[in-house]
Amino acid sequence: MVTEATATRLVLRVAGAGLTATMAAIHLRLWAEGYRDLATIGPLFLLNAVIGAVLAVALLLTPVRGLPAVAAVTALFTAGTLGALVLSLTTGLFGFVETLDAELVRPTLYVEAAGTVVSAVLAVTAAGLLRHRRRERPRHPHTGVHAQGGG
């Protein structure tokens, strides 16, 4: 039986992985189309693409007990990437100033903002589920220790 919490967690996992993979794909495309020639920014775009791809896969494959940590790291990474974009649009970043009119800037803002929110919500809900499961586990009648399992 699939519970509402399980279904919600699955939707958040898939959405978070999709948004993170999209962020990675955008950075890889921009890197391939010329950002690779920018000092500092170029290598960071490639690194973002690789880390984003790894995190997208991790969101899908991590067991429930590790999901809060993976989702939190993904949310922080995506928020950091969004923050770097905002800096490049305002004050500049590593000597590079981006404009809202540049290709993929607006979609990137939307993808990274949504990815941050979805991954953060997944981290919080997955952590809540784990706390709930721990409270429900039966205790050993003589030691009072929680039984092992689940997760």
Per-residue pLDDT tens digits for 93-123: 998 999 999 989 999 999 999 999 999 999 9
Ranges of each domain in the chain: 19-134
pLDDT, one tens digit per residue, over 60-82 is 999 999 999 999 999 999 999 99
DSSP 69-123: HHHHHHHHHHHHHHHHHHHHHHT-BTTB---TTSTTHHHHHHHHHHHHHHHHHHH
